[in-house]
Amino acid sequence: MNEITYSIRWQIIRVGQLRLYADSIYEYRIESELHENLIKNFCIKVLRPCSIEGRVGTEQFDGSCSFPHGLQPYYRFRKIEENIYEYVVCEPFTD
């Protein structure tokens, strides 16, 4: 019997606040040969759960206020190159 094993490897690029009173940014680089939708589901449900997708191209993820999403965390998931993805979550500042 032939057995195929797939894996998901991730690297933490940055975590936390960039400055005082800024939002928290969590950035990951993911590598896998699995389908893109499976990788995205892993990220938003397991790696760093988040349910609101930021508007692609307009979110800065620079630690500034996370409006227009109110005080809800939001994320960006995108393919960087073949089998490599970027997942970034912005969580609003809290005391």
The whole-number pLDDT of residue 93 equals 80
Whole-model pTM? 0.86
| All structural domains of the chain with their residue ranges | 8-91
Q: Strands 74-81 and 8-17, how do they pair?
A: unpaired
> pLDDT of the chain along its 95 residues, tens only?
688 888 999 999 999 988 888 889 999 999 999 999 999 999 999 999 999 888 665 566 766 665 666 678 889 999 999 999 999 998 888 76
Which three-class secondary structure string do you get for 18-70? Answer: CCCCCCEEEEEEEEECCCHHHHHHHHHHHHCCCCCECCCCCCCCCCCCCCCCC
